[in-house]
Amino acid sequence: MKKNILYLILIFIGMLITANISYAEELNTPYVEKYKLTGKTTNDNYQKTYSELNKQQNDDWNAKYNFKPETNVKTVSTWNEFKNAFQDNNVSKIILNNDIKANSAERLDRQESMELDGQGHELHLNRGTINVDSLPNIESFTKKFSSVPVFHMHDIKPVQDDANDPTQAATRWAYLNGGRGLEGDGVRNTQRGIWQYRIGNLITPTNGDGQRNQKINGRLINANGGHISIWGYNKVISAAENFYTGGITYDPFTYYIGEIAHYNYSTIWFLNSRENYNGSPGEENLTMTENFDIGDNSFVYLHNTGNGESFPGVYEHFNNINVGEYATFNVNVPGTAVAFNHNNSTFLGKKGSKVNLLSRAGSATILMSNTQSTRPTPSTSQMKKVNFTMLEDSELYVYGNNRYGVVAYDRSVPDAVVSLESLEAFDITNTNKNRFVGANGTAASNQNEGHIFKVSNSDISLWKNNTDLNHSPDYDVSEVGLFQVDTKGNFTTTSDELKTVYKIDDFSRISGMNTVPQVEWNPVTDADYTQKAKVFLGDIPIGGSDPFDEYGDAKTKPVYADEIRKAQVKFTDTLGNEHIGVSESDNYVYFRKNDHKVAGFQKAGEIMSATPSRVNGNNGGTYREGVLRKTRVIDVTPPNPAELKSNNIVTNSDRQIKGQNGEPGASVYMSINGKEKQKIATVEADGSWSYQLDSYLELNDKLVFYVEDKSGKAPDSIVEGKVTVPLDPKVPATNNENGNINPDKETSYRDAVFKPALIVTVKDIIPRTPNITKDVESDTPENVSKDKQVTQVGSTLTYTITAQNIEPENSDKVLLNTVIEDEIPMGLTFDLSKVTVTKNDIEQPTDTLTYTEYSEEEKQTKNKQGKLTYSAQDLQPQDTIKLTIKAIVNRDGVGKVINNTASIIGKSPRLENINDDTSNNIEIKNNANVDNPGGTVFGVLSLISAPEKFDFGKVKLTDFNKVQAVDMKSTENPVIPLVVEDTRGIKSNWRVTATLIEEMNYTKPGESTPSDTLTDSLSFTYKNVNNILRLNVPVTVFDSKDDTVKDEYKISENFWQQNNQDNTKQDGLKMKANKVPTANEYKGKLEWTIEDVKTN
């Protein structure tokens, strides 16, 4: 026994460890079903869990009867081998090596104990039987292998007949003990009753599913008068009763499904009582217990598939039906599920047991007397007292359809008590819309004060006859100490409320849900302002015409607290709010938005908790507090949309996109122009992220930035206890295996609105080619039309360069590092200091203005003398730069058109190589050129230098008549030379004349009229000819034909400064007074003229 207890503890712990973990269950103690076995328990799972226990149980059973099955073991593979071994009383155990089928219908007999181990194989008797009832009495038993006759059949698949819907017959009343008539050699024959029968891990094959699918013609075992013990995992389907028996014992942790597939009989028939055997030889050796005992933690399901209402699940000559602790007993019958045929017989549901008595049709489900008496005895004809009792923490569910009540009493049994003592839950429902308890008939004689229905220490819910049984009860009273009524209608209760309302004939349903309340969270997301939960009070059967599922479990529905059966929940949320809510008519307890002192959505991934309690409907107090249950807030909310550091602007010059204020760890994706999005970054701990572009974006590219967190796939449901609660509405489309991602458009989900992904259209900040113009003016008008300009040597050309960033003022297109260049052509004399600069008509400093003169080689190559450069730096949209440049045309320009080109060179924000930080910005360049006015530059004939003063020095009055000359080489009184420049393209002769325009006069100081004049005193010697200078008469002083034509001719140097000792004899200006002058200073004026001499 100690081994058994230890093993059960290990099983319990193991089940806790392997409990299924869900999103909610991981936070709470996993739900452990108090009933270890249910109809859905599979054979595989059973064997994994309980095979060691079963072995111990069998060892204990063998020891109890001193059975030594290993004494002489035979392993068989054929029918004949089996037949010989079975009939050999020297064989103690037969092991099947494979499936075996009899050649024909035979009756095999033996008289010694045996263990038949099928090893999972089929033993097909082919309409025959195996029998042990040929042992005439206990005295004939030789005790070769055991103290008493035992027959143990296990791990076998018994088959008797393959025919469609096979039934019992004279030679096949049962699989075991079916060859000597239905009851052996007579009703009082004890030959079958002196044996101890045992089966385990026995499954009868079937002909498919549904009714009449049996392969056992009658019963599995005819053991009338004997005792049958059952262990392991069993499914027995037979045409008639599973067993004739005198006693049934299910070992603890036994799984048993028993069905009648053909006849309208009870699944188990206690065929005779001991009274039936009085006086029979060997009656004292009968093994019958007259009890139907279900061991602790077992599962037993009895099912009559027919429609007869007379026979209960277990019938007739039993004294007691005992349902062990935490065992389940399910009875599925068309009529009465439990009835009594013995005086003082009882039904006892022990602590924690569960009993489902569900009638599919009419008759009382629990009849506190007999339905009929097939084998009457003095005890059955004089029944006075029966008892149906359920003990603490057990569960009882009784459903039926009977106008007298589903718990009914008969006048034949005056003392009949149904006592429900401190149950965990019960529900008794009469779908006939009549009383749930009462006398089995309307006559007053049927009513008896000894017919008692009693409930102790329970909540009581009551439904009136006309109330929808699936709706909330009409009355719910908490913690009722006593609810007792007899069939006369006498009612006793500790509840003042019930005293005033309850009448036996008025209520069709009574229920008591005394379970510890359990919170079942509705999934909480971070998109909910309101949270809600249900308070689970228990499961109850649905009843009706099909009350059990294919596994033998009662079909159930949950019971939740509502506005009548009240419960409260104390909530604590992730924001620090607490609230107590009470169940409402829709079964929910709400924690509404307005109940939150601290407003907002719940924090994803954090924990909310709830503690339930029942609420006393009378005083509002709480009782029966449940366990605090937690739930994790499901993250369904996408991160905030991406936020770019550039104020959500992306340009076509960006090399890198940077984000800020992101959710750390989140992934950032980008889609371009509707193409599939690609991951571009992971958000850093400080919320920043960046992405390096591998190529420039283009104008109007559509970028969509998605941010996806790492919360993972949100569950579609959470497991709350035994219930899977779906997310409703279901998980939003924004959630995926990775987590939550921004939607393409604004999306509403539950109470939240998910903002769409950031959409950015690429902005153009690449400036267009700037505008540049160049204008020029000459200060030389054309001789014919003064409105036109020409260019000649000496002309001053004024150049105006106008450069502009032509982008609109409101744009961001800046021309970076702008430079204006002008290459000064040959033929111009340029003065940097004369250049002026304005920006937007405002004069600018010229400190960034430079001039670089080219080398002689560059001048020859480029035909340019140098480069003027002005650094305008960054040009904003509409910025205009003007450069004004003045240059004088020199003789190098003669015969040429002087073309001047100016350039504006700016930088694009784009680099030449996007992936190379050291690469240059792309240049944006434009240029303008202009020719000098008037076309080809022509030369001029001009005096580029002429004496401004001739000083004849001081002359003695006595020497007035002498010729005086000017010393051209004098350093004391230097004379400016007379120089002619001829830059004409086609040269011709020219001459220079001097004209006296004012005689040599002496004018007294302060007077304007001369006091004395020396007329004809000046002369000019040219080519040894002296010509008197007369007023206003030109005199030739040089003629080009007299010398080689040159571009520049220095007349004074070449002709007036001849190395002649006598200045009076060389060419040049002379003076000789014709009269005696006064002793004063005389002055005169000459005019120099150069003129072209045309030749014919």
pLDDT reading at 327 higher than 50: yes
Of these ranges, 9-18, 403-412, 663-672, 1032-1041, the one predicted with the greatest mean pLDDT is 663-672
Burial class (CB in 10 A: 0-12, 13-18, 19+), 503: exposed
Chain-wide mean pLDDT for the chain?
A: 91
DSSP code at position 779 = S
pLDDT of residue 1044: 57
Residue among 38, 41, 49, 42 nearest 13 (CA): 49
pLDDT reading at 565 higher than 80: yes
Return the minimum-mean-pLDDT range out of 242-256, 265-279, 580-594: 265-279
Query: Which of the four pLDDT bands, split at 50, 70 and 90, describes residue 20?
Result: very low
Residue among 351, 323, 353 nearest 338 (CA): 323
Query: Which of the four pLDDT bands, split at 50, 70 and 90, describes residue 860?
Result: very high
pLDDT of residue 626: 95
Q: What is the mean pLDDT of residues 615-621?
A: 89
pLDDT digits (tens, 9 = 90+) for 167-179: 888 888 999 999 8
pLDDT reading at 774 higher than 50: yes
Find the length of the chain. Answer: 1096
Those residues with Cβ within 8 angstroms of residue 107's Cβ, 6 or more apart along the chain or in another chain? 128, 129, 131, 171, 179
> Six-digit token pair at 675?
């193409």
Query: Which of the four pLDDT bands, split at 50, 70 and 90, describes residue 617?
Result: confident
Q: Is 442 helix (H, G, I), strand (E, B) or coil?
A: coil
Helices (H) and strands (E) in the chain, counts: 7, 78
pLDDT of residue 969: 67
CA distance 621 to 616: 5
pLDDT digits (tens, 9 = 90+) for 714-734: 999 999 888 899 999 999 999
CA distance 241 to 259: 8
* Contact criterion met (CB below 8 Å) for 416 and 386: yes
Rounded to 10 degrees, the C-alpha dihedral 376/379/382/387 comes to -110
> Six-digit token pair at 212?
């009449």
Burial class (CB in 10 A: 0-12, 13-18, 19+), 414: middle
Q: Is the peptide bond before 715 cis (omega within 30 degrees of 0)?
A: no
pLDDT digits (tens, 9 = 90+) for 120-140: 999 999 999 999 999 999 999
pLDDT of residue 467: 96
Place of tokens 């107090």: 621
Place of tokens 């690449």: 766
pLDDT of residue 1064: 64
Query: Which of the four pLDDT bands, split at 50, 70 and 90, describes residue 1089?
Result: very high
Q: Is 4 helix (H, G, I), strand (E, B) or coil?
A: helix
pLDDT digits (tens, 9 = 90+) for 466-496: 999 999 999 999 999 999 999 999 999 999 9
CA distance 33 to 15: 9
Q: What is the mean pLDDT of residues 391-412?
A: 95
Return the minimum-mean-pLDDT range out of 53-67, 111-125, 780-794: 780-794
CA distance 700 to 221: 88
CA distance 502 to 463: 10
Q: What is the mean pLDDT of residues 56-78?
A: 98
CA distance 300 to 313: 11
Q: What letter represents residue 787's amino acid? A: D
Query: Which of the four pLDDT bands, split at 50, 70 and 90, describes residue 550?
Result: very high
pTM: 0.75
Within 10 Å of residue 695's Cβ, how many Cβ atoms? Answer: 8
Main-chain phi, psi angles of 753, to 5 degrees: -120, 115
CA distance 1071 to 1064: 9
CA distance 160 to 126: 5
pLDDT of residue 139: 95
Those residues with Cβ within 8 angstroms of residue 36's Cβ, 6 or more apart along the chain or in another chain? 11, 15, 253, 297, 326
pLDDT of residue 10: 32
Of these ranges, 19-33, 340-354, 442-456, 927-941, the one predicted with the greatest mean pLDDT is 340-354
Query: Which of the four pLDDT bands, split at 50, 70 and 90, describes residue 597?
Result: very high
pLDDT of residue 379: 67
Return the minimum-mean-pLDDT range out of 29-33, 105-109, 194-198, 863-867: 29-33
